[in-house]
Chains A and B, each alone.
Chain A
Amino acid sequence: MYRIVSKERLAHRHTLFKVDAPEIAAKARAGQFLIVISKKGGERVPLSICDHDREKGTISFAFHEVGKTTKELGTFNEGDELFNVTGPLGNPSEIKKFGKVLCVGGSILIAPALLQAKALKEAGNEVVTVLACRSEEFLFKKAEAEKFSDRVYVASDDGTVGEKGLEFLNDLLSKEKFDRCTVIGPVIMMKRVSEITKPFGVPTVVSLTPIMIDGMGMCGVCRVTVGDKMLFGCVDGPEFDGHRTNFDELINRQRSMLPEERLSSLLWEHEHEGRCRCGRK
């Protein structure tokens, strides 16, 4: 069993757990992910590693409470035990001195982006971090980002905080030369950033932790077309060349179980939070 050492609310329905898992902590590196199963019989949820403490033997992961399983996970508290945490999975990020790196994190995945920024900074890079969120209330860890970065930009979909949208990156990239860009966030955001960096010729790495079940190369749910090759997110990735990734296919595949996911989420809400969207109690 894996005990939750601490629980942190990052924003509304954005939660970070620090979990006791010394063997995983000993090996975890930026860019890798975990499969978390909250209870016996529960779903296998792929979640990016946000931090590791080799001395204390802990790892951290963050999640957005959006489906049944993540909502249920959100009800766990400090001291509770998780049924299983498997990891570290996937290949670690390529961390070396590139020069000047643009590090973009979006939504809940700002949390693992900061681990990348930290590792890139430690490797001697000049790190410019972009925190992208829906609106001001979903912005978190800005102070931490400033610690690991030479400069931090904030962007929000509605413009309530920082830049409105990501289009400002066009200006930034036309003024300054970057040697590499790493992006981790919602697929649609990774697609947009890759489109922006492409004409500037900035090598761009996106982190694809899409719909997975086993997370170790068995199911093929996470298959993605990169260039002309079919690759597996879990075994070959999760990081791929953003300029050669077929995002549209990926977005389509991510939707494939949407009605089922909505159903189970609604049933859970109805049972545990006493509400459903039909308006009846």
Chain B
Amino acid sequence: MEGNEPRRKRNDKALDEDVPMPRQEPEERVKNFDEVALGYTEEMALAEAARCLKCKNPQCQKGCPVEVPIPQFIDMITQGRYDEGIAVIKSKNALPAVCGRVCPQEQQCQMNCVRGKKGDPVNIGRLERFLADWEREHGTKASARPASTGKKVAIIGAGPSGLTAASDLAKLGHEVTLFEALHVAGGVLMYGIPEFRLPKEIVQKEVEYVQSLGVDLRLGNLIGRIHTIPELMEQGYDAIYIGSGAGLPQWTGCPGENLGGIYSANEFLIRVNLMKAYDFPESDTPIRIGKHVVVIGGGNVAMDCARISMRLGAKVCLNYRRSRNELPARREEIENAEEEGLVCNFLNAPVEFFGDEKGWVRTMRCTSMELGEPDDKGRCSVTPIACSDFDVETDTVIVAIGQTPNPIIQRTTDGLKTNPRNGTIIVDEDGRTNLDGVFAGGDVATGAATVISAMGAGKRAARAMHDHLMNGKKGDRE
């Protein structure tokens, strides 16, 4: 097919709009856990790729935390050279099928797209997904193994950050061991993001790709317990990357929070996504969901919990302490959730939970909040309004107000500098910790953030680790 054909078919006005993503209808998808966004067909991908203006000085690429050569891969699509297109992406990004689905492109590459000034930007994410899915259907090409450097590297945590660092370091010829605490690799991609946004089979295919680069994956290894960081150094690892994420749930601290029926977002997500509780009793791990679920929080995790609850048959409302404008979740996720029937209650916060005679949550007392002045980051403060308490009837509450890093590694690594406020590991811009040869990045260093920012950190750290391994910058830092 001629690359420019779709461009001729559509007039200028039509080119201002992107090719819509085919999706399952809301009334249908709320009854299943299948993927909501169905992906571009080849025809759609060609039409969308043809919208790329092939700028001399492409801005999109500057917005990508993992430096994907965006114009090149889009150009390959327009030429129908899909295998070369995916190779272009994989030169920088080991997880394109994941990024094409869950990256907030609207705040990154697409935000910079020149087309976006007048209409919709080129939908780079959907094109990336198209190529990744094309490759999966047509067979993944194994990469050539580089010559070994003889250096050994340990990566802790097989989430997006660790997988990225592992693949970059393996491509550079280092011997990489990837330690994962859970019984499957993927981290938040497996336990956190639900099946209908990111099918788990796809995550496992990406993990297999990383393994095909020569990475030795060790499941069920909780570093800090089975081996500590100093012990890994003694075992002969020349450098270590800590990408253990932010897995420790935060709580509201309100009285009654330990009643039955109150879940942390993590518990809820682990049961449903990782352990497939939505298939219970076909699967072994159960989940108890009531008729009226309240999700506390306003981020993507809160949206995921709400959308899962609706699929499990509950009526769901989301209680967020600020207003709609401040919702940290992606716009697309909020729209998806509301289409599926989510009711949002803004400007209120929980103060106490009350249970029935069996110790199960029955009522959540809330107080109304009002917005104050924006702070230096532009985020409005909120303050409770006096004597504004009201009660919400509920039988299931999901607390989705954020996560902090798991403290096990920090507690078992003498001298590792951490932020006393939230337990994050202190690193420089390239992920160096204060310990020689020990690097960290992703949520464990930043606190809970996005998949792609964790991948970007893994990429930068891999570069710095390579430098450390090859140029032996031992002793540079105290």
Contacts and interface: CB of A to CB of B under 8 A. Distances in A.
Asked if A and B are interacting partners, one says yes
B168 interface: no
Contacts of B221: 23, 86
A257 B222 contact: no
B264 A225 contact: no
Nearest to A214: B270
A218 B191 contact: yes
Contacts of A213: 267, 270-271, 275, 285
Nearest to B359: A252
A178 B170 CA distance: 57
A19 to B, nearest CB: 13
Contacts of B283: 41
Interface in B212-265: 219-222, 225-227, 247-249, 251, 257-261, 263-264
B41 to A, nearest CB: 33
B118 interface: no
A14 B359 CA distance: 31
A89 B412 CA distance: 13
B267 A260 contact: no
Contacts of B477: none
A252 B406 CA distance: 26
B145 interface: no
Interface stretch (A93-101, A114-122, A261-269): A261-269
B126 interface: no
Given A253-B260, A263-B281, A218 B249 contact: yes
A44 B226 contact: no
B225 A89 contact: yes
Contacts of B380: none
Nearest to A213: B270
B406 A235 contact: yes
Given A216-B408, A253-B260, A257-B286, A221 B280 contact: no
A159 B466 CA distance: 68
Contacts of B219: 84
A218 B183 contact: no
Contact of A23 (B226, B266, B359, B360): B226
A257 B264 CA distance: 15
Interface string A3-37: 00000000000000000000110010000100101
Interface in A198-221: 213-214, 216-221
B459 interface: no
B307 interface: no
A256 interface: yes
B2 interface: no
Interface in A38-67: 41-44
Contact of A27 (B226, B359, B360): B226
A252 B258 CA distance: 9
A105 B205 CA distance: 46
B63 interface: no
A209 B310 CA distance: 32
Contact of B406 (A83, A89, A218, A267): A218
A253 B288 contact: no
B182 interface: yes
Contacts, number: 122
Given A43-B275, A235-B408, A216 B181 contact: yes
A219 B225 contact: no
B276 interface: yes
A68 B283 CA distance: 11
Nearest to B399: A220
A208 B462 CA distance: 40
A220 B251 CA distance: 10
Given A219-B270, A263-B281, A267-B281, A256 B288 contact: yes
B201 interface: no
B373 to A, nearest CB: 33
A68 to B, nearest CB: 6
Contacts of A42: 284
B285 A43 contact: yes
Interface string A229-255: 010100100000000000001001101
Contact of A256 (B261, B270, B284): B261
A220 B257 CA distance: 11
A130 interface: no
Contacts of A89: 222, 225
A209 to B, nearest CB: 15
B407 interface: yes
Contacts of A230: 251, 257-258
A9 B259 CA distance: 37
A111 to B, nearest CB: 21
Q: Which 8 A-B pairs have the closest CB atoms?
A: A260-B286, A86-B220, A252-B359, A219-B267, A220-B264, A218-B247, A256-B260, A43-B284
24 contacts: A35-B220, A41-B283, A42-B284, A43-B275, A44-B285, A83-B183, A86-B220, A89-B222, A214-B181, A217-B247, A218-B247, A218-B248, A219-B267, A225-B258, A235-B407, A249-B258, A249-B359, A252-B359, A253-B258, A255-B359, A257-B286, A260-B280, A263-B281, A264-B284
Interface of B: 181-183, 191, 219-222, 225-227, 247-249, 251, 257-261, 263-264, 266-267, 270-271, 275-276, 280-281, 283-288, 358-360, 406-408
Given A27-B227, A214-B247, 4 more contacts: A44-B275, A85-B220, A235-B407, A253-B359
